[in-house]
Amino acid sequence: MKWQAMSREGAQKILAASIRCRVGGEGLRIAAIAECLRAASYLASAPVAGNDTWEPAASLSLTSMVRRRLSPLWPDLAEDKDSRPGVLSVLNSLGELGDLVRLQGGSWLTPPAHAIKAANDSAVIIGGGPIETLPHSIQTQAAGRVRLVDAVACDDWIDVWDASEWIGAPVEGLEAWSVRLIATMKSRFTDVPSDLGEIAIYDKGRWGALAELPNAGGVFLSKCQTGPVALHFIGDYFRGRIRKMASLDFQDARRLRFHLDAQAGRPMRVKAMTSQGFVKLRLERRLPPQEARVLLLGWQIPTPEGEHPGVTYHVLPIEMLSIVRAALDGLGVILDERCGAEGGNQ
C-alpha cells in the first residue's frame, strides 16, 4: 500500500463527489456538515439487534462527531457567525427545515422523508437520513443544507408538499391576520405605565419618534427601549399623546410591519440576481420566522463593505426561487429579479 499526501482542496473535491454536491466554497462546507449530521443522527439513533426502538441522539454527541471528522478539511467548524455558521448552527437549522426533529432535552431523531415542490421540475428532500439510506433509484444533488431530486422520482415514494404548506405562514393571509391581530390588541388595551420611556411609532413605512409627531392620532404599532431589548406594543394616540396600549410579541410585530408597509403603498423590495444556476438575494430587514426558513435553503454570504448593518445577502440554488417567491408574496414583498454575470458558487 502506498500513501500519498493530498491537499485540503483535493480532499474537499473528493468529499463533494461522495455526497453529490454541485457547489464549492461555503455551499460545499455547509453541505458536508449537514450530510455528516444526518449520518451521525441516523447511526446514533438506529435500533440495534433485538431492539426496535430508535434512541434520540444528544446535540453534543452529534456535533462532536462531526467536528472530529470534518475539522481536518475545515479547521474553524467550532466558530459560529451569521455568514459562516458552525456545526451547532447547522444542526439547529436542519431542525428548522424539518430535516431532523428536535426533542426535549436537546436530543434529535431522523424523521421520515418528504419533499417540497421546487422550480424546474425539482423537489427538495427533507428528512429520511443520509443519502445512503434513500432508495437506490433516487439520485440527489446536494447544495448547502438541501438535497435536490427530480420531482418525478418522488412518485409512489414520498409526499410532495407545496411551498406554502411547508412555509407554514398564517393560512388566512397577511391582511386578515393583521386585522384580527389589531382587533385583539384593541380589546386588551390597558393604562400606560408612567415609566414607559421614549416611544417610536411606525408610520408610512418608517419608525419615528413620538416626540417629533405632535399631531399623531389613532392606533399605531409602537416600540420603546426597555433595557437591552425593545418592547413592542399597539398604542392608541391622541394629539401626540399615548392613551392606551397592549403589549405585542416582537415576532408578531415583525409580521405586522409588512402589512402596514403594503397599506402605506411602500412594500418592502428584495433584489434577486440570477446567474449560473443560482440566485443572490439582498434583504434589508429580517423576515418572520416561518418565511425566514426559506433562506436556509441556501446560505448567507458576507455583506459588502459600506452596506447598512441590517442588510444581508443570501445565495440559493435557482430551483429555490419559486419557494422564496411564495414566502415573499405572502408578505406583500416585491421581488425585483434581474439576470447578472455573477455566479452563486461562493
**What is the DSSP secondary-structure string of 71-119?**
TTT-TTTT--BTTB--HHHHHHHHHHHTSSEEETTTEEEPPPPEEEE-S
pLDDT at 15 over 70: yes
Please give the average per-residue pLDDT across 211-225, as a whole number: 94
pLDDT at 165 over 60: yes
Quick one: CA torsion of 72, 76, 80, 83, rounded to 10 degrees? -100
pLDDT tens, residue by residue, 20-51? 999 999 999 999 999 999 999 999 888 776 67
The Cα diameter of the chain in Å comes to: 86
CATH code given to domain 8-113+130-135 = 1.10.10
DSSP string, 37-81: HHHHHHHHHSPPTT--PPPPEEHHHHHHHHHHHHTTT-TTTT--B
Please give the average per-residue pLDDT across 323-345, as a whole number: 84
Q: What are phi and psi of 65, to 5 degrees?
A: -60, -45
Strand-by-strand arrangement of the 278-283 sheet: 299-301, 312-317, 278-283, 269-275, 334-339
Beta bridge partners of 299: 315
> What pLDDT score does 52 carry?
75
pLDDT at 345 over 60: no
> What percent of the chain is predicted at pLDDT more than 70?
96
Beta bridge partners of 149: 123
pLDDT tens, residue by residue, 272-283? 999 999 999 999
pLDDT at 342 over 70: no
pLDDT tens, residue by residue, 150-160? 999 999 899 99
Instruction: Give ranges for CATH 3.30.780 in the chain.
Output: 267-339
pLDDT tens, residue by residue, 127-145? 999 999 999 889 999 999 9
Average confidence score pLDDT of the chain: 92
pLDDT tens, residue by residue, 253-264? 999 999 999 999
Which region holds residue 239: left if phi is over 0, alpha if psi is between -120 and 50, else beta?
left
Instruction: Give ranges for CATH 1.10.10 in the chain.
Output: 8-113+130-135
Local confidence band at 344 (pLDDT 50, 70, 90 cut-offs)? very low
Give burial (CB, 10 Å; 0-12/13-18/19+) of 219. Answer: middle
> What percent of the chain is predicted at pLDDT more than 90?
80
Please give the average per-residue pLDDT across 153-171, as a whole number: 94
Q: Are the beta carbons of 64 and 54 closer than 8 angstroms?
A: no
Which region holds residue 265: left if phi is over 0, alpha if psi is between -120 and 50, else beta?
left
Please give the average per-residue pLDDT across 65-87, as a whole number: 88
> What pLDDT score does 50 carry?
63
Q: What are phi and psi of 108, to 5 degrees?
A: -135, 150
Residue with the larger pLDDT of the pair 174 and 346: 174
CATH code given to domain 267-339 = 3.30.780
Q: Are the beta carbons of 158 and 114 closer than 8 angstroms?
A: yes
> What pLDDT score does 343 carry?
45
